[in-house]
Amino acid sequence: MSKAKRLYIKTYGCQMNVYDSERMAEAMGGAGYVETDTPDDADMILLNTCHIREKAAEKVYSELGRFKGLKEAKPDLKIGVAGCVAQAEGQEIMRRQPMVDLVVGPQSYHRLPELEAKTQEGAKALDTEFPVDDKFDTLRHRPKAKRGPTAFLTVQEGCDKFCAFCVVPYTRGAEVSRPVGRIVEEAQDLVERGVREITLLGQNVNAYHGAGPDGVDWSLAKLIWELDKVDGLERIRFTTSHPNDMTDDLIEAHGACAKLMPYLHLPVQSGSDRILKRMNRSHTAESYLRLIERIRAARPDIVLSGDFIVGFPEESEQDFQDTIDLIEEVKYGYAYSFKYSTRPGTPAAERDQLPEDVKTERLHRLQARITHHQRIIQDDMVGRTVSVLFEKPGRLPGQMVGKSDYLHAVHVADADVGIGQLAQVEIIESGSNSLAGRIVSK
The amino acid present at 198, given as its one-letter code, is I
- Shortest CB 84 distance to ligand F3S, Å: 3
* 106 vs 149 by CB, closer to ligand SF4: 106
Among 6, 51, 53, 235, binds ligand SAH (CB under 6 A): 53
* 59 vs 161 by CB, closer to ligand SF4: 161
Whole-angstrom Cα Rg for the chain: 23
With contacts defined by CB under 6 A, name the span among 44-52, 69-77, 229-237, 290-298 that binds ligand F3S.
44-52
Three-state secondary-structure class, residue 420 = coil
Size (the chain), residues: 442
213: burial class by Cβ within 10 Å (0-12, 13-18, 19+)?
Answer: exposed
> What does 169 interact with, of ligand SAH, ligand SF4, ligand F3S, none (CB < 5 to 8 A by kind)?
ligand SF4
| Cβ count within 10 A of residue 160 | 11
Is 209 in contact with 172 (CB distance < 8 Å)?
no
* 219 vs 341 by CB, closer to ligand F3S: 341
- Shortest CB 84 distance to ligand SF4, Å: 11
Among 11, 177, 269, 421, binds ligand SAH (CB under 6 A): 269
Q: What is the secondary structure of 93-115 as a DSSP string?
A: HHHH-TT--EEE-TT-GGGHHHH
With contacts defined by CB under 6 A, name the span among 162-170, 187-195, 215-223, 246-254 that binds ligand SAH.
162-170
For residue 44, what is the DSSP state? E
| Cβ count within 10 A of residue 217 | 14
Give the CA dihedral 315, 317, 319, 322, nearest 10 degrees.
Answer: 150
Among 8, 19, 109, 165, binds ligand SAH (CB under 6 A): 165
Span 160-199, contacts to ligand SF4 by CB under 6 A: 161-163, 166, 168-169
User: Considering CB under 6 A, how many residues would be counted as binding ligand F3S?
Assistant: 13
Give the CA dihedral 255, 260, 262, 266, nearest 10 degrees.
Answer: -100
> What does 107 interact with, of ligand SAH, ligand F3S, ligand SF4, none (CB < 5 to 8 A by kind)?
none
User: Considering CB under 6 A, how many residues would be counted as binding ligand SF4?
Assistant: 10
* 84 vs 195 by CB, closer to ligand F3S: 84
Q: Binding site residues for [4Fe-4S] cluster, as ranges?
A: 14, 50, 84, 159, 163, 166
Pick from 201, 39, 35: nearest CA to 106 = 201
Span 208-247, contacts to ligand SF4 by CB under 6 A: 242
- CA 138, CA 31: separation in Å to the nearest integer? 14
In the shown chain, the binding pattern of residues 147 to 186 toward ligand F3S, with x for contact by CB under 6 A and - for none, equals: --------------------xx--xx--------------
Is it true that the peptide bond before 371 is cis, omega within 30 degrees of 0? no
The amino acid present at 232, given as its one-letter code, is G
Residue 5 binding ligand SAH, by CB under 6 A: no
Is 12 in contact with 83 (CB distance < 8 Å)?
yes
- CA 317, CA 323: separation in Å to the nearest integer? 10
List contacts with ligand F3S (CB under 6 A): 13-14, 16-17, 50-52, 83-84, 167-168, 171-172
Q: Which residues bind ligand SAH (CB under 6 A)?
A: 52-53, 165-166, 168, 203-204, 240, 242, 267, 269, 307, 309, 338, 340-341, 343
Contact residues for ligand SF4, defined by CB under 6 A: 159, 161-163, 166, 168-169, 203-204, 242
